[in-house]
Amino acid sequence: MKTEYREEYIIIKPESRFDIIILYWIIKSVGKVGTTIKWQEKIESGLKTKRTLEVVTVIIQYDDIRIDHSIKSLRITGRIIESSKNELVGKRIGIDLNINNTTIVPKDDTAEKILRKTMPKKSILVIILDIDGYVIAEVSDRIEIIDEKYIPTADILEKEEMEIKKDVTNINELVKRYRERGSVVVLGYNIGSKNLAKKIKGVDYKVEKTLSANINGVLTILKEIANEKAIREANELAKAVQIYDELLSKELTKVVYGIKEIIEKIGYGIIHTIIFTDKVIHDKKILDYILQAYLSCINVHFVDSYSSLGRYVNQYGGVIAISY
């Protein structure tokens, strides 16, 4: 989530599906949102009709907001209350805010509290190369799969395969971006992927081990290098690894199921983490409960339904919590 503070407004650019959810919460708390749009008008001039197109900034008071099914955009409808084109004030309009779109929200205490919680945290980039593909994950206070791909073994063994060259280039560019942020980069690979691993540059730690290109492989790698200083000092990361490991290994002594039970346990002050999937995204009541938990300093993790953890959470309605 990229943010820039102006005198009266905050400029926000969501960069992921979880950022879209965060933006949804911010807009609901503020009640207003703005962006730039292309406004087209027809102007009658004698016997001719002239069309004009200009880029204008609008702020709308929303009356409906919805997250799309792919969680990559918000659809918002409402009335324009401010605009760089005065004639538009008072008109009803619908806007779509997508990942990487610029969004404008008025400064607001709740919005700023939410944004403070989303500020970049110390993270580790984990790359797993298996004999039939790869997975890349960012690990901070949660584990987020940011890229994964299946590649036939024959293609990986063929060193001159153009598709592999493209993947290696993309991975190296990603490693460079994360190192510029100060992130630690960890590469894990199977012996069958050794030649491909040599092409990945700029990593801090390399581990050759039997690994799966999924979240279990990521956990295996992180536990393998747990004594390294960069891992040991990242308390939020260590906590995230512990949570995911407990869930995936089915050691579920502290897992709470069911939204009613979760809300009750939150009231008792014994919940420290909520994990939810896209299965509950369109249930506004559940999203509101999760927002209140988020504002109450409870850790909130969003996971995709297609991931191993997401599939597990979906068995219990798409939301679970972890108690102390």
Same domain, 113 and 130: no
d(CA 169, CA 189): 17
C-beta of residue 300 within 8 angstroms of C-beta of residue 274:
yes
Tell whether 138 and 170 lie within a shared domain. yes
CATH number of the domain within which 200 lies = 3.30.420
**Whether residue 190 sits in one domain with residue 263:** no
Q: What pTM does this model have?
A: 0.69
Residue 287 and residue 259 in one domain: yes
> Is there a single domain that holds both residue 262 and residue 203?
no
Q: Do residues 302 and 239 share a domain?
A: no
Bridge partners for 148 per DSSP: 135
**Tens-digit pLDDT profile for the chain (324 aa)?**
888 888 889 999 998 888 999 999 999 999 999 998 888 776 666 666 667 778 889 999 999 999 998 899 999 999 999 999 898 999 999 999 999 999 999 998 988 988 887 776 678 899 998 877 889 988 876 778 888 888 765 655 555 455 677 888 889 999 998 888 778 899 999 887 888 888 899 888 898 988 888 888 888 888 887 777 766 666 566 666 767 776 766 656 778 888 889 988 888 888 888 989 999 988 889 999 999 888 887 888 888 887 777 888 898 899 999 887
Final residue belonging to a domain, choices 246, 280, 306 = 246
Q: Whole domain around residue 232: which residue ranges?
A: 126-246
What is the rounded distance in angstroms from the CA atom of residue 297 to the CA atom of residue 146? 25
Which of 117, 136, 153 lies at the terminal end of a domain, its last residue? 117
Residue tagged 């820039």 (tokens): 4
What is residue 158's DSSP assignment?
A: -
200 and 282 together in one domain? no
CA dihedral (220, 226, 230, 236) in degrees, to 10, reads 80
Hey, is 116 helix, strand or coil? helix
Could you tell me if 10 and 93 lie in one domain? yes
Same domain, 319 and 279: yes
Alpha-carbon distance of 165 to 169, in angstroms, equals 6
Inter-residue long-range contacts of 113-117, CB under 8 Å, 24+ positions, other chains counted: 113/295, 114/22, 114/25, 114/26, 114/29, 114/294, 114/295, 115/1, 115/3, 115/10, 115/12, 115/22, 115/26, 117/294
CATH code at 19?
2.30.30.870
Question: How many Å apart are CA 79 and CA 89, to the nearest integer?
Answer: 8
Question: Domain total for the chain?
Answer: 3
CATH number at residue 301: 3.30.1330.30
CA–CA separation, 191 and 100 (whole Å): 38
**E strands along 124-168, which residues?**
124-130, 133-139, 143-150
Cβ pair 313, 277 in contact under 8 A: yes
Q: Are residues 78 and 144 in the same domain?
A: no
Specify burial of residue 26 (Cβ count, 10 A radius: 0-12, 13-18, 19+): buried
Same domain, 131 and 235: yes
Among candidate residues 307, 252, 298, the one with its CA nearest the CA of residue 279: 307
Is residue 141 located within the same domain as residue 183? Answer: yes
Q: In what order do the strands lie in the sheet with 205-208?
A: 143-150, 133-139, 124-130, 184-189, 205-208
Per DSSP, 297 falls in state T
Q: Which of 190, 221, 246 lies at the terminal end of a domain, its last residue?
A: 246
